[in-house]
């Protein structure tokens, strides 16, 4: 009985997560992952890989963490970073782990320490970045939180 109940709970959990995963991607958007933004081993850190070039100009969904800047509310321009490993403890995320996000709504979004899902148009556009002590290679424009 317990094994059957465990199997039922497992199946329900898998179905739930598969549904959430499928529903989070807006129609016409592609998934973008930070691994696609990393240079090949041995390449300089600011090298843009072919996997990133293939996504340039496309509408994408990217999950990440908001880099903790000075603002807490109404943030329309921010860095989305791969993880909280370095940034929240005084470090600076590597350049291939940063995406400068420009929200479509000028009212922006509120800061969150949780994983956020951002959908927008991905661009390879090297530039300076706010609150990071460094620049970016990648940007996302016309972005919306999902």
Q: Per residue in 58-114, pLDDT tens?
A: 999 999 999 888 899 999 999 999 998 755 555 788 899 999 999 999 999 999 999
Cβ distance 63 to 104 under 8 Å?
A: no
* 134: Cβ contacts below 8 Å, ≥ 6 apart: 92, 95, 98
Name which residue leads in pLDDT, 4 or 93.
Answer: 93
Confidence of residue 17 (pLDDT cuts 50, 70, 90): low
pLDDT for 49 equals 98
The Cα 96–Cα 59 span in angstroms is 19
**CA separation for the pair 71, 87 (Å, rounded):** 15
CA distances from residue 18 to 11, 22, 23, 25, 139 in whole angstroms, order as listed: 11, 6, 9, 12, 28
Q: Supply the DSSP symbol for 132.
A: S
Q: Whole-number mean pLDDT of the chain?
A: 88
Q: Which residue has the tokens 């994983």?
A: 115
| pTM for this prediction | 0.82
Cβ-in-10-Å burial (0-12, 13-18, 19+) of 136 comes to: buried
Q: Which of 44-53, 88-97, 133-142: highest mean pLDDT? A: 44-53
Q: What is the DSSP letter of 75?
A: B
Instruction: Identify the pLDDT of residue 60.
Output: 99
Q: Answer yes or no: are the C-beta atoms of 78 and 98 closer than 8 Å.
A: no
Q: Which CATH superfamily is domain 28-145 in?
A: Protein of unknown function (DUF3299) (2.40.50.870)
Q: Examine the pLDDT at 28 and tell me if it is beyond 80.
A: yes
Specify the residue for token string 């590597």.
Answer: 94
- Tell me the domain boundaries of the chain: 28-145
């Amino acid at each position: 009985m317990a094994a059957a109940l465990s199997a039922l709970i497992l199946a329900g959990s898998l179905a739930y997560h598969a549904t959430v995963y499928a529903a989070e991607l807006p129609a016409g958007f592609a998934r973008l992952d930070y691994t696609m933004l990393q240079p090949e081993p041995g390449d300089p850190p600011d090298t843009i890989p072919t996997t990133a070039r293939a996504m340039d100009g496309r509408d994408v969904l990217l999950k990440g963490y908001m880099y903790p800047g000075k603002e807490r509310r109404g943030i329309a321009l921010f860095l989305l970073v791969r993880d909280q490993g370095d940034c929240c403890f005084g470090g600076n995320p590597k350049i291939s782990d940063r995406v400068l996000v420009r929200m479509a709504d000028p009212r922006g979004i509120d800061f969150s320490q949780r994983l956020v899902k951002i959908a927008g148009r991905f661009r390879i556009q090297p530039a300076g970045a706010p609150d990071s002590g460094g620049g970016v290679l990648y940007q996302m424009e016309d972005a919306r939180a999902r």
